Structure 1
């Protein structure tokens, strides 16, 4: 549905079907017959054959397709690791990126709005979806048994020996679980579509 009530609705033809019809026009030479057979507007077909007005409809996106692919890949990875981004975090991430690369920022107040998020999610709906975040699963919580801990420390000893870290404590970093969120509530995050 268009954002504005008076916005023009464009009919969408698949790229493959349009290429086939263009090839058929070039072979037969008849625009009218091919347009009637496939239900395509004759003027649209003529423009495609001549290579006129064949670019994407609408305003160009702020991020390039490659940048959006990288962003979607990172959203999927973060979701797999249990740190899914919500819409506000996505907006802040895009705002920060656009500022860093010094690209003209078309967003109101420099930050993408909710409409941008909806359109972005719709554009990448085959790869990502928005879901309610889940709490820490019971089997992950049960992974803190004695056998698991002993195995973890044995692997840590092996790594310290392999990389010769016994006398290099400055190269060993510690992390605690204070910042890990276990009660996610009803927050919706972006993650891989499954």
Structure 2
């Protein structure tokens, strides 16, 4: 399993600035909690100063944000979609855009779905319940009057 990053981009930025001001790489690395070799590689240009761990996502950050907004819009209209439907829609986006992916039949799998939920913690998977029309059409005034009567 890949190592976990234990520092923030802000810590890295401060450490790089400190080295540029003349501080020693080892002193700056220990001060900001960054591995010395990692800081040296960022300063010398061996690795980019800002990068994320792991492979790049198939959808861009903007596309994923649009997808999240679409999911919330559907949920607000009482039409939540299932995992299967989400994966079908992402597959359709990939096919329409003719993107090269590591997915079988251009369909994201369980790991992509779990990573997507991890990248967007505001989304959660829930079981939708059907509401009968009489329950859905109850107004706030009817609720208040019911509680006053009871």
Q: TM-score, normalised by structure 2?
A: 0.80
Matched, 1:135 2:130: yes
The aligned length equals: 136
Structure 1: give runs of 5+ residues left out of the alignment.
1-6, 144-194
Alignment correspondent of 1:96: 92
Which has the larger Rg?
Answer: 1
In 1, the alpha carbon distance for the partners of 2:123 and 2:7 equals 24
In 2, the alpha carbon distance for the partners of 1:85 and 1:53 equals 40
Runs of 4+ residues over 6 Å off in structure 1: none
Quick check: which one's strand share is greater?
A: 1
Higher RCO structure (Cα 8 Å, ≥6 apart): 1
In 2, the alpha carbon distance for the partners of 1:81 and 1:133 equals 13
Matched, 1:77 2:73: yes
Q: TM-score, normalised by structure 1?
A: 0.64
In 2, the alpha carbon distance for the partners of 1:100 and 1:19 equals 39
Alignment correspondent of 1:15: 9
In 2, the alpha carbon distance for the partners of 1:29 and 1:87 equals 51
In 2, the alpha carbon distance for the partners of 1:43 and 1:93 equals 42
Alignment correspondent of 2:20: 26
Quick check: which one's helix share is greater?
A: 2
